[in-house]
């Protein structure tokens, strides 16, 4: 890697921009390609399959080699770890935080209630003790962000879900029974969200594994989040 490319890579990582280092194997030519890149020196024009491979590498973080008319290109992604924003410092969150961290997520717990969001209950976790309508704006969920709402309190959950629906978060989930989900969808629908948008919300949250305890529910939620990220 040349000094110029290295500086470009460092700058991308410093600003939180995900990129792929593309190396053309026959001659060693290299360039950095991001999701926003409109053109490439290495990828032949109209090569849809390689463009898809780059997009897949940016999503999954998995290196791969692709065949092109100009020769094989090795794609090495440099991406940020996925982030999981957990809305509600509740018992399920206490189990979910360490599990998600072990799975490689950057975890943020969001809850304006001082007595819930404490370092004693969530050691090592990033805690945001603000109301979601302000905090979510600051956190800026993006395409590698998952959001799961766990409080059962519309004053906390709904603003967080609103911000998530307005973003391109890869996962949105909300705790609650089917009756609770229906009431939630009515409230969010009244804010102008379409049925198609509301279908993005996984609810009842988590894979249907018959989970009952907070720990089991956390496993079900994390499995669903990982599935949304990888599949």
Q: Which residues contact 228 (CB under 8 A, 6 or more apart)?
A: 146, 170, 171, 202
**Cα distances (Å, whole numbers) of residue 183 to 155, 196, 205:** 14, 16, 15
pLDDT of residue 166: 97
- Measured distance CA(44)–CA(92) in Å, rounded: 49
- Measured distance CA(22)–CA(20) in Å, rounded: 6
Residue 183 has pLDDT above 90, yes or no: yes
User: What does the pLDDT average to over 130-143?
Assistant: 93
Spell out the domains of the chain, with CATH numbers in brackets. 3-78 (no CATH), 83-230 (3.40.50.720)
Residue 87 has pLDDT above 90, yes or no: yes
Residue 176 has pLDDT above 80, yes or no: yes
pLDDT of residue 149: 98
Residue 16 has pLDDT above 80, yes or no: no
Q: Which of 104, 109, 112, 103 is nearest to 91 (CA)?
A: 109
Residue 9 has pLDDT above 70, yes or no: yes
Residue 38 has pLDDT above 80, yes or no: no
User: What does the pLDDT average to over 70-77?
Assistant: 92
Higher pLDDT, 46 or 52: 52
Do 205 and 173 meet the contact criterion of CB atoms below 8 Å apart? yes
- Average pLDDT value for the chain: 92
- Stretch (H or E) spanning 49: helix 48-60
User: What does the pLDDT average to over 133-161?
Assistant: 95
User: What does the pLDDT average to over 66-92?
Assistant: 93
Share of the chain above pLDDT 90, in %: 72
**Phi, psi for 108 (deg, rounded to 5):** -125, 130
Distance of CA 26 to the CA centre of its chain: 35
User: What does the pLDDT average to over 44-70?
Assistant: 86
pLDDT of residue 1: 78
pLDDT of residue 80: 86
User: What does the pLDDT average to over 40-63?
Assistant: 84
- Measured distance CA(6)–CA(168) in Å, rounded: 29
pLDDT of residue 39: 66
Three-class secondary structure of residue 122 per DSSP: coil
Burial of 102 (0-12, 13-18, 19+ CB in 10 A): exposed
- Measured distance CA(223)–CA(51) in Å, rounded: 29
Looking up tokens 């206490």 gives 94
Instruction: State the pTM of this model.
Output: 0.80
């Amino acid at each position: 890697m040349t000094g110029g490319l290295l500086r470009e890579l460092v700058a991308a990582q410093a600003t939180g921009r995900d990129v792929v280092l593309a190396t053309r194997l026959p001659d060693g030519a290299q360039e950095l390609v991001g999701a926003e890149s409109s053109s490439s020196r290495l990828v032949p024009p109209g090569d849809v399959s390689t463009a898809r491979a780059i997009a897949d590498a940016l999503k999954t973080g998995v290196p791969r080699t692709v065949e092109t008319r100009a020769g094989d290109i090795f794609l090495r992604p440099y991406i940020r770890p996925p982030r999981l924003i957990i809305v509600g410092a509740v018992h399920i969150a206490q189990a979910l935080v360490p599990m998600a961290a072990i799975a490689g997520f950057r975890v943020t717990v969001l809850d304006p209630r001082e007595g819930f969001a404490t370092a004693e209950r969530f050691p090592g976790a990033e805690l945001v003790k603000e109301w979601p309508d302000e905090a979510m704006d600051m956190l800026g969920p993006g395409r590698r962000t998952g959001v799961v709402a766990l409080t059962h309190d519309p004053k906390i959950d709904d603003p967080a879900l609103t911000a998530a629906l307005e973003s391109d978060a890869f996962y949105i989930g909300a705790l609650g029974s089917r009756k609770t989900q229906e009431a939630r969808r009515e409230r969010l629908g009244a804010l102008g969200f379409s049925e198609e948008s509301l279908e993005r919300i996984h609810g009842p949250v988590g894979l249907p594994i018959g989970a009952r305890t907070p720990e089991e529910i956390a496993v079900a939620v994390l499995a669903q989040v990982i599935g949304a990220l990888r599949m």
